[in-house]
Amino acid sequence: MLKERLEMILEKQDSLRFPAPVENMPHGDMPGDKVIISDALIPHAQTLFKLLVKLMSEKEDEKYVISIFGGSGSGKSVTTSLLTYYFNEAGIHAYAMSGDNYPRRIPEYNDAERVSIFRSEGLKGLVKENLYSTDVQKKLDVLWIKETDSDPREIKEYPWLEVYQNYGREGLKGYLGEEKEQDFDQVNDILAAFKRGDEKIWMKRMGRSEDQRWYDEVDFSNTDILLLEWTHSGAEQVKGVDISVCLRSTPEETKAYRLFRARDGKADSAFVTMVLEIEQEKLDRRMEQADVILSKEGKVLRP
């Protein structure tokens, strides 16, 4: 029984010794992702492991879904890898699932869709507020080429741009981290299949190009815990989570992390800054529903 194994760990927590990370330790199933274990995050993961064991031991379930969410740079991937490793070493079999496999578009096309929505809604706003003209469009054409139409600093020269940016931002709010961008239904199907005890589940894999999409059949017959690591795993659209964990970070930390990873060449642009601000607003709202909140310093803020 899983509960008995959890209680055994709980009884010896004061003397618990965590195994040192190893090179081949498990990590999320996102193709091409490399997880570099940060020594600073090891005590955070150990604190979280003990807390999760306690929370699970208070329940009667035989299978648990734990969501780990937060912004880029909050430590989701590393923390999830360490937790998966610790659980497995303790005799509780865990699998790390990356939600980054479940957007509806590959990164390049998704980035283009975000820009398209922002500009389309911005134009509609100008028309609606009677600010649109052929002269305004000519100025926008230049700003589009420069990719500065989302930069608030341009408003000083083009006051009408504030309306354009406000409408564009509102349009993005309806897309970022929502059903139009993320395939929550498929994620929920997987969580439901795991919880009802399906032994084998087809798991989606997505790379960074259109020809990098496939499914792997994963054996869950001996798996006790599924850890869903994803920026959006705290969203209200995700169903079937037993314990949700928010790793708190700031937009500045997220931007710094993206620049460090060089994941895209425009990580410090005005548009990306706006996207991160919107995502942070949603993360802050979703954090209020989290069962566990861990600060960047590793302090447990909830429960």
Best CA proximity match to 280, nearest among 250, 259, 237, 247 = 250
Contact 49, 10 (CB under 8 A): no
Whether 117 and 97 share a structural domain: no
For residue 146, tell me if it sits in a domain.
yes
Whether 193 and 284 share a structural domain: yes
**CATH number reported for the structural domain that contains residue 260 in this entry:** 3.40.50.300
For residue 192, tell me if it sits in a domain.
yes
State CA 25 to chain mean position distance.
Answer: 21
Whether 239 and 284 share a structural domain: yes
For residue 237, tell me if it sits in a domain.
yes
Side chain identity at residue 266, one-letter code: K
Whether 197 and 71 share a structural domain: yes
For residue 178, tell me if it sits in a domain.
no
Tokens of 236: 């209200």
Domain boundary among 173, 200, 221: 173
Q: Give per-residue pLDDT as tens, 141-154.
A: 999 999 999 999 99
Confidence band (pLDDT; 50, 70, 90) for 264? low
- pLDDT recorded at residue 15: 83
Q: Give per-residue pLDDT as tens, 41-70.
A: 999 999 999 999 999 999 989 999 999 999
How far apart are alpha carbons 205 and 141 in whole angstroms? 38
Predicted confidence (pLDDT) at residue 6 exceeds the cutoff of 60:
yes
Whether 163 and 200 share a structural domain: no
Q: Give per-residue pLDDT as tens, 181-199.
A: 999 999 999 999 999 999 9
Confidence band (pLDDT; 50, 70, 90) for 159? very high
Whether 210 and 83 share a structural domain: yes
Whether 116 and 224 share a structural domain: no
Cis peptide before 303 (omega within 30 of 0): yes
**Which percentage of the chain shows pLDDT scores above 70?**
94
* Range(s) of the domain holding residue 122: 108-173
Whether 193 and 142 share a structural domain: no
- pLDDT recorded at residue 1: 86
Predicted confidence (pLDDT) at residue 256 exceeds the cutoff of 80:
no
Domain boundary among 173, 200, 217: 173
Whether 202 and 225 share a structural domain: yes
Predicted confidence (pLDDT) at residue 138 exceeds the cutoff of 70:
yes
| C-alpha angle 75-19-16 in degrees, rounded to nearest 5 | 100
Secondary structure element (H or E) that encloses residue 126, with its range: helix 107-128
Q: Reduced to 3 states, what is the DSSP secondary structure of residue 151?
A: coil
Whether 76 and 197 share a structural domain: yes
Which residue spans within the chain are E strands per DSSP? 64-69, 94-98, 200-206, 213-219, 225-229, 243-247, 292-294, 300-302
Confidence band (pLDDT; 50, 70, 90) for 265? low
Domain boundary among 173, 202, 222: 173
Whether 167 and 95 share a structural domain: no
For residue 12, tell me if it sits in a domain.
yes
Whether 91 and 224 share a structural domain: yes
How far apart are alpha carbons 289 and 121 in whole angstroms? 30
Number of domains, the chain: 2
Phi/psi for 218 (5° steps) reads: -110, 135
Best CA proximity match to 47, nearest among 302, 303, 299, 301 = 299
| pLDDT (average), residues 273-282 | 93
Q: What is the DSSP letter of 182?
A: B
Mean pLDDT of the chain: 93
